[in-house]
């Protein structure tokens, strides 16, 4: 399995990339992840109760995925490619554990959490596909192995499953607790009809 992991990494990892390739790699590897919290925030402003509960489910799934990812990395430390001198590294990164990818665990946990709610399944698919260029870029730039991405997907799905029992009780209660604070903080744009109450 490790041989396959390293072979796939060397196949994707950049060799003599152009300036544009490096710029694109950096943008996808580190920038695209911000689309996901932005999606949550902007959709909260216009969503109904069901939509907001789906967003909260996604956020909780992401939190659990980050905890799982942290725990896995401490129980089983797998070095990054540049730590073992494999391939080429094109962006700075601490020599932390590579498995699973934190970026992809977060991204795909958001998607898995949204998938639980039928009102957000289409968004879950679209956002999930957006995770693929992030996965490619982090391998291309030399900071992750391909199996780190597979591990991230599994971590994300497990996180969403662990959060599934919270759907009918905690999530609605959490929404009801957050909404008065939101309405107070955004009272003016809500009155203008820009945001949903």
Encode pLDDT of 6-24 as tens digits. Answer: 999 999 999 999 999 999 9
For helices 146-163 and 49-75, the axis angle rounded to 10 degrees is 130
Res 36: pLDDT: 96
Contacts of 13 (CB under 8 A, 6+ apart): 81, 87, 88, 139, 140, 142
Res 197: pLDDT: 86
Q: What percent of the chain has pLDDT over 70?
A: 100
Encode pLDDT of 51-60 as tens digits. Answer: 999 999 999 9
Res 30: pLDDT: 94
pLDDT (mean) for 91-108: 96
Q: Give exposure, 90-104, as e/b (b: 16+ Cβ within 10 Å).
A: beebeeebbbbbbbb
pLDDT above 90: residue 125: yes
pLDDT above 90: residue 86: yes
Architecture of domain 53-166: Up-down Bundle (1.20)
Res 22: pLDDT: 95
Q: Are 160 and 116 in contact (CB under 8 A)?
A: yes
Tell me 31's DSSP state: I
Q: Which residue has the tokens 């998938």?
A: 115
Cα dihedral 45→49→51→56 (10° resolution): 80
pLDDT above 90: residue 169: no
Res 119: pLDDT: 85
Q: Give exposure, 70-83, as e/b (b: 16+ Cβ within 10 Å).
A: eebbeeeebebbbe
Encode pLDDT of 27-50 as tens digits. Answer: 999 999 999 999 999 999 999 999
Res 139: pLDDT: 98
């Amino acid at each position: 399995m490790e041989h396959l992991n390293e072979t796939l990494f060397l196949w994707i990892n950049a060799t003599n990339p152009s300036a544009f390739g490096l710029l694109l790699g950096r943008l996808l590897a580190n920038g695209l992840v911000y689309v996901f919290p932005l999606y949550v925030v902007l959709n909260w402003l216009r969503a109904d109760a069901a939509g907001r509960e789906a967003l909260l489910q996604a956020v909780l799934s992401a939190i659990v995925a980050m905890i799982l990812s942290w725990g896995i990395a401490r129980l089983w430390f797998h070095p990054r490619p540049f730590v073992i001198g494999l391939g080429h590294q094109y962006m700075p990164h601490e020599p932390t554990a590579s498995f699973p990818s934190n970026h992809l665990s977060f991204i795909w946990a958001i998607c898995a959490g949204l998938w639980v709610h039928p009102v957000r399944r289409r968004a879950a698919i679209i956002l999930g596909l957006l995770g693929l260029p992030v996965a490619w870029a982090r391998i291309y730039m030399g900071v992750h192995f391909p199996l780190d991405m597979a591990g991230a997907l599994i971590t994300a799905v497990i996180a969403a499953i662990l959060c599934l029992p919270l759907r009918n009780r905690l999530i609605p209660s959490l929404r009801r607790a957050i909404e008065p604070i939101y309405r107070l903080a955004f009272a003016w744009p809500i009155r203008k009809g820009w945001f949903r109450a």
